[in-house]
Amino acid sequence: MNRPLVAILSGAGVSTDSGIRDYRGPNGLWRTDPEAEKLVTYEYYMGDPEIRRRAWLMRRENQTLQAEPNVAHRAVAGLERSGVPVRVITQNVDGLHQLAGMPARKVIELHGTARTVVCTGCHARTSMEDALARVEAGEDDPPCLKCGGILKSATVMFGQRLDPVVLGEAAAITKACQIFIAVGSSLQVQPAAGLAGVAVDHGARLIIVNAEPTPYDDRADEVIREPIGTALPELLHRLSAERE
């Protein structure tokens, strides 16, 4: 018997148990420090050296690179190892799904990765760890070592478009899956949020796991409000058992 393809759209709520703050929750970064949004807005970042200096300090302090996968990340990787066809479409930039054991080729990073820096001039890529070491050594706005251009994290900032190839891959998986789980996402940021609707339109069973209501709750087959650290492992175990 063929097992159904499970697509998991993971948002910031999946990584909060790893110590990474979300953005739009009750204690989210944008609610507690509205000015922080400028640090990840492309126009401000490119046009203001002081914004870039503050952004590098934020990157040095936010501990993303030190974070470890939590039980939710491990549950997703465990489902994949059990033989269920799983694809992760993540709005997160922390790389924790891969660290938990999900094969990188089965993870689509819609918003890029914070583990890499990219030059906005020549597009050369290097590791974030190397760039932060330069900041630690006294460079408050380290330029590209190849061309002298402005460096930024390899994430999609506000004001930047998502990579159309990456978005196309996510859409193809969404249309092909039989089960679509949106977990830890407010489902407010398009076009990622719209994938939930696409999944339903193509006949998938939609399950939403999130602490607060989302715009797609009324289209879901199941809405779970329990904490992700307990709810997601239980849900994935149940789905795996249903198909055995």
The catalytic residues are: 111
Structure tokens at 97: 């799904």
Side-chain half-sphere CA neighbours of 183 within 13 A: 28
Determine phi and psi for 108, rounding to 5 degrees: -105, 115
What is the rounded distance in angstroms from the CA atom of residue 224 to the CA atom of residue 242?
18
What is the rounded distance in angstroms from the CA atom of residue 91 to the CA atom of residue 89?
7
User: Any idea which residue has 């492309």 for tokens?
Assistant: 42
4 near 85, Cβ under 8 Å?
A: yes
| Angle, in degrees to the nearest 10, between helices 128-136 and 49-61 | 110
Give 186's DSSP letter: -
